[in-house]
Amino acid sequence: MSLISCKNLSVAYDGKTVVNNLSFSVDEGDAVCIVGENGSGKTTLMKSLLGLVKTSGGCIEFSDGLFQNEIGYLPQQTEVQKDFPASVNEIVMSGCLNKMKSPFFSKKEKAKANFNMELLGITDFKKRCYQELSGGQQQRVLLARALCATKKLLLLDEPVAGLDPIVTAELYELIKKLNRKDKITVIMVSHDIPGSMDIANKILHLNNNGSFFGTCEEYKTSDFGKNFLGGGAND
Ligand code: ADP
């Protein structure tokens, strides 16, 4: 069953089209990686799925079981966000805010945050200040926060940007586990196409002159894949 279906979707800023006539669908259990050059509209697409950016054409349909406020989002990190002065616990708890009915966190929400901190191995530093953590630890905190908002769908915008290869591999393993074992559908923006292929079952490649959407196998043999994966495309 499709969780999200985009049909002829277009998004424009001040009349300039950034996402043009894009169609693709995400099924339950999928891990879709969105790749493409800088400026090809990856973050804009993520924001339009979240309802943060207005679409200018086409439509985004959510399946009966998924609502826009039930999507867990890990935004691209900026230098300013890395210095955010809050504790790990506070940041993870803030993932519950979208669905709260009262201004106070309930026992259920606190339990959910604790569960997700345990799942991501960050319980030991829940009282520490976020800005003191390493880049990899910060991404785990943001992933735990995103999980508080969802049981179904995670949108991850460049989750491994700026991380060293060992921490990148650890984070990829975590994302793979959340997708394959915990059955959470994942849509991830990445510049790391080979790394993405290890996690994804489908690739969406955005390009200012068109796009590709299909399985990893189809991508490897496509003109897009051949260009971007080079000689190793059929390995
Ligand atoms: P990507 O994530 O692939 O790097 P973006 O979605 O961030 O691409 O940006 C796509 C294009 O839209 C770029 O040319 C960028 O400058 C432009 N853009 C992004 N956000 C805005 C905005 N808020 N207002 C105007 N233009 C924007």
Residues of the chain with pLDDT under 50: 232-235
Would 53 be classed as within a structural domain?
A: no
Domain annotation covers residue 117: yes
44 CB under 6 A from ligand 1? yes
- Interatomic CA distance for residues 161 and 166, integer angstroms: 13
Between the CA of 16 and the centroid of ligand 1 the distance, in Å, is 10
Give the model's pLDDT for residue 67.
Answer: 79
- Residue 210 counted as domain residue: no
214 C-alpha vs ligand 1 centroid, how far in Å? 24
Residue 120 falls within a domain, yes or no? Answer: yes
HSE-up (13 A, CA, CB side) for residue 44: 20
CB-ligand 1 contact for 54 (6 Å cutoff): no
- Look at residue 27 and tell me if it is in a domain: no
Residues 6+ apart with CB under 8 A from 122: 88, 92, 137, 140, 141, 144
124-179 residue pLDDT tens = 999 999 999 999 999 999 999 999 998 899 999 999 988 899 999 999 999 999 99
41 lines ligand 1 (CB under 6 A): yes
Number of domains in the chain: 1
Q: Is this structure's pTM higher than 0.75?
A: yes
Does residue 105 lie within any of the structural domains? yes
Q: Can you tell me the distance from the alpha carbon of 171 to that of 159, in angstroms, rounded to the nearest whole number? A: 8
The parent domain of residue 83 ranges over 79-149
Q: CA-to-CA distance for 86 and 129, rounded, in angstroms?
A: 6
Residue 136 lies in a domain: yes
Q: Which atom of ligand 1 is nearest to the CA of 36?
A: 3
Any domain includes 56: no
Q: What is the residue whose two structure tokens read 């026992």?
A: 107
- Pocket probe for ligand 1: among 10, 11, 13, the residue whose CB has the most ligand atoms within 8 Å is 13
pLDDT computed for residue 34 by the predictor: 96
Which residues share a beta bridge with 204?
Answer: 34, 213
